[in-house]
Amino acid sequence: MIARITAPCDRTGHAARRLLTAAFLLLTVTVPARADWTVAAYMGASFTRRSTLTITQGSGSREARGVHFDGRPFASPPYYGYRAGWRSREAFGIDVELIHLKVYAHAADLPPNVERFSMSHGLNLLLGNVTWRPAPQGRVQLEARAGAGVAIPHGESEIDGVAQEQYEVSSLALQGAAAIRLRLARQLGAFGEYKLTTAAPTVSVAGGRINGRYTSHHVAVGLEWVFSKRQD
């Protein structure tokens, strides 16, 4: 018989949503009037580099080195992201972004008693970004982005026959990104973007925790909508 533990996800999920709402409200009260407000949504894929996982249970710990990860970006729930922010007349801006990437550890790389370890409902990254976008040259425009925030992993594990899953607000998360944007209409643009992210969350498992660093390459495509006019 397999025991199953489901930690209270709702409380942490509500906390994450409150963080996102608070960050967005902060934007609305601190940005200047001379700015373009934007919202964007995208889908894509991510590749997470091999890493060392430290499994701690009781007073002992073990390391699993060179663990491979799958991203499964198109399996439900898929890889996605969205953001909202503003861009000043001088081409600098800030935004708030949520990235939902997934991580599945290869079972063959884990210790024998660790049957499963993944974050299929997301190694979610909630980030505040600084952006730079030079003056447009025709319909094509470049953009650079750097950000920091928190990782909100949804860990799923099965150790010694005990399954557990939960959301947790965890470690610092960082990203750097570069994008090419194509203006489709006055207020609508499409973009392709490369991202590099890293985070080292602690994920609770039955009787302990798993620590690791997850450095991921992302390729994303999406749409951006400019919904306010510049004020002179």
Average pLDDT along the chain, 232 residues, taken 10 residues at a time: 46 54 52 73 98 92 96 96 86 94 96 94 96 82 96 96 94 97 92 98 95 98 82 44
pLDDT of residue 4: 47
Per the domain annotation, does 63 fall within a domain?
no
Cβ pair 70, 47 in contact under 8 A: no
DSSP annotation of 108 reads: G
Per the domain annotation, does 213 fall within a domain?
yes
- d(CA 211, CA 214) in angstroms, rounded, equals 10
Per the domain annotation, does 89 fall within a domain?
yes
pTM of the model: 0.84
pLDDT of residue 104: 98
Per the domain annotation, does 165 fall within a domain?
yes
Per the domain annotation, does 231 fall within a domain?
no
Cβ pair 72, 104 in contact under 8 A: yes
Cβ pair 178, 142 in contact under 8 A: yes
Domain ranges, residue 85: 3-58+70-226
Per the domain annotation, does 64 fall within a domain?
no
Residue (of 120, 132, 56) closest to 92 by Cα position = 132
The total of structural domains in the chain comes to 1
Cβ pair 20, 96 in contact under 8 A: yes
pLDDT of residue 196: 98
pLDDT of residue 15: 53
pLDDT of residue 50: 97
Residue 97, class by beta-carbon neighbours within 10 Å (0-12 exposed, 13-18 middle, 19+ buried)?
Answer: buried
Q: Is 111 helix (H, G, I), strand (E, B) or coil?
A: coil
Q: Are strands 188-199 and 172-183 parallel, antiparallel or unpaired?
A: antiparallel
Per the domain annotation, does 20 fall within a domain?
yes
pLDDT of residue 21: 57
What is the helix (H) or strand (E) element at residue 48, kind and residue range? strand 35-48
Per the domain annotation, does 232 fall within a domain?
no
Cβ pair 67, 50 in contact under 8 A: yes
pLDDT of residue 135: 72
CA dihedral 117, 120, 123, 124 (to 10 degrees): -160
Within a 13 Å sphere around the CA of 6, how many CA atoms are in the beta-carbon half? 3
Can you give the CATH number for the domain in which 162 is found?
Answer: 2.40.160.20
